[in-house]
Amino acid sequence: MRRFATCVGRRLCVFWLASLGLAGLGCKPSPETRLKAVVGAVFIDGTGGAPVSQSVIVIAGARIRAVGPRTAVPVPASAELTDGSGRFVVPALIDLDAREDHTATSLRGLLPLSKSAEVAARDVTTLAEVEAAVRAGAKFLRGMIEDTEDWDVAFAHRLRDLRVVFAPRLALRSGRSLEVALRNTRRLHQAGVAIAVASGSTSGANTLRELELLAEAGLTPMEILVAATRHGAQAAGLSAMCGTLEVGKQANLLVLKANPLENIRHLRAIERVMRNGEWVAADNRPG
């Protein structure tokens, strides 16, 4: 699969959160100022808000200049047009474990975690580890409680109020461990704790399997999409630049041939990929 790279800071040009190892993070803007517009697609911005049918997305260089319904956003006469009719546009996905340019679906390597986010991250598998990490100030936890289900909703509400993000790494588990992790993921999510995506694979090979397991944990397709975009950027400390398709943010997006809000597996139906405002090939599909 071709590399899905984008510029992060002044040192890295990789697209999917691959070197989540975290160089300086201002996204380097493209020198191009040419305008592009995707017209007529169903637009799903990653915030959890309602999809916008018959949308217009205007991109200037590497950034989103305007987005909204066709009735409200004019199409610049000079823009290079892409017909989005019958298509669905979503943000590129964020796998917080992936470190290689392997697939065109996500931002591996594009978004190394900010230095402060990496320092604050913790790997956890037990309730005691979670409690210790939170006491130490961690805001991003990779893993999930798998040793017990003996905790109450007040514990989850405390994590929610502290804005802790959990990336449960369900794809790494099996048997009893997976069953407990699924139930604990469901309970944390229902209590309002933000769930993100970390597949446990540096290649990104498990990313879509992780999304499918989040569906088994009870998240809706919209909630899974938010987990794989907005919450991933939150965990990485990069919400200001990436994770959702909003004005001023990086133009990193997927054009899909099927509706991911009907079935999260439709994220496999990639037709086009935009990286840092430029169209790149998407002639391979992630497994």
Which of 35-44, 56-65, 75-84, 111-120 is predicted least confidently?
Answer: 111-120
202: left (phi over 0), alpha (psi -120 to 50) or beta: alpha
Instruction: Give the separation between CA 60 and CA 144, rounded to whole angstroms.
Output: 40
Tell me which of 60 and 102 has the higher pLDDT.
60
pLDDT tens-place string over residues 179-202: 999 999 999 999 999 999 999 887
Is the predicted pLDDT of residue 113 greater than 60, yes or no?
A: no
Which of 88-102, 183-197, 204-218, 263-277 is predicted least confidently?
Answer: 88-102
Q: What domains are there in the chain, each with its CATH number?
A: 115-236 (3.20.20.140)
> Which of the four pLDDT bands, split at 50, 70 and 90, describes residue 16?
very low
Is the predicted pLDDT of residue 286 greater than 60, yes or no?
A: no
pLDDT tens-place string over residues 225-250: 999 999 999 998 889 998 999 999 99
Q: What is the mean pLDDT of residues 150-156?
A: 96
Instruction: Report the predicted TM-score, pTM, of the whole model to 2 decimal places.
Output: 0.83
pLDDT at 30 (0 to 100): 45
pLDDT at 51 (0 to 100): 97
Q: What is the mean pLDDT of residues 112-129?
A: 72
pLDDT at 281 (0 to 100): 73
Complete edge-to-edge strand list for the sheet that includes strand 194-195: 121-124, 140-143, 165-167, 194-195
Spatial CA neighbour of 258 closest among 50, 30, 89: 89
pLDDT at 112 (0 to 100): 52
- What phi and psi values does residue 182 have, to the nearest 5 degrees? -60, -45
pLDDT tens-place string over residues 25-40: 334 444 447 899 999 9
| Residue 125 structure tokens | 């598998």
